[in-house]
Amino acid sequence: MDEGPSRWRHRFQMRYRFKVSWRISTFGVIALSFVAAAHAQAVRPETLFARGHWAALKFGQQCVAEARPLLPAAKRQPEARAGFSFIAGRGEFHARLSRMPRPGSSVMLTIKDRPFMLVVRGDWAWSSEPLQDAAIITAARGAQSMRIEARDGFGRRFVDRYLLDGAPTAIDAAAAGCLKTN
């Protein structure tokens, strides 16, 4: 006879816990969506410069100089872009690739005839160190175009090409915009 009431008590407690946890999780999702919407409005980019194929934008404390590739991405592919992000006066080259590179493969940035091996994580690639960043910026100032090459998961080579018209001024505007906030 004691099993009956304890079993019912257990069911009641489980239902109560479910209802409370459901209400808390629903409240959490709603609160998180309000916080995300407020954050998105607070971090709207400010355009510092836009000319040629490049633009300099400011997102709060971070400034970026970015470009899109010459060829648009296919419908199922992510939109590729490349540029420099500046935080506290330090510039770093970054690129979102048009395809996911094969795991373990190398990603090469070539400006004029200078190759730069990039560090890869997912479909993003970065420069490896501050000296490489400085060399990439110097090369981009004196070139007409650059390309990023890699192999996708099927072993096919793909290339994202970018024009560098407007890049030097966009880089300078992003670097200067970042220094003003710090």
What is the assigned CATH class of domain 46-181? mainly beta
| DSSP, residue by residue, 9-70 | HHHHHHHHHHHHHHHHHHHHHHHHHHHHHHHHHHT--EEEEEETTEEEEEETTEEEEEE--S
DSSP-assigned beta bridge partners for residue 96: 81, 124
pLDDT above 90 covers a percentage of the chain that reads 58
Average pLDDT over residues 81-93: 89
Q: Looking up tokens 């510092």, which residue turns up?
A: 48
Per-residue CA distances from 6 to 14, 16, 91, 107 (Å): 12, 15, 65, 64
- By CB atoms closer than 10 A (0-12, 13-18, 19+), residue 122 is exposed
DSSP-assigned beta bridge partners for residue 114: 111
87 confidence band (pLDDT: 50, 70, 90): confident
Q: Decide if pLDDT at 15 tops 70.
A: no
pLDDT tens sequence across 114-170: 999 999 999 999 999 999 999 999 999 999 999 999 999 999 999 999 999 999 999
pTM: 0.72
pLDDT tens sequence across 31-45: 434 344 444 445 688
Q: Decide if pLDDT at 28 tops 60.
A: no
Phi, psi of 145 (to 5 degrees): -155, 170
Domain boundaries along the sequence of the chain:
1-42, 46-181
Write the CB contacts of 32 (distance below 8 Å, at least 6 apart in sequence): none
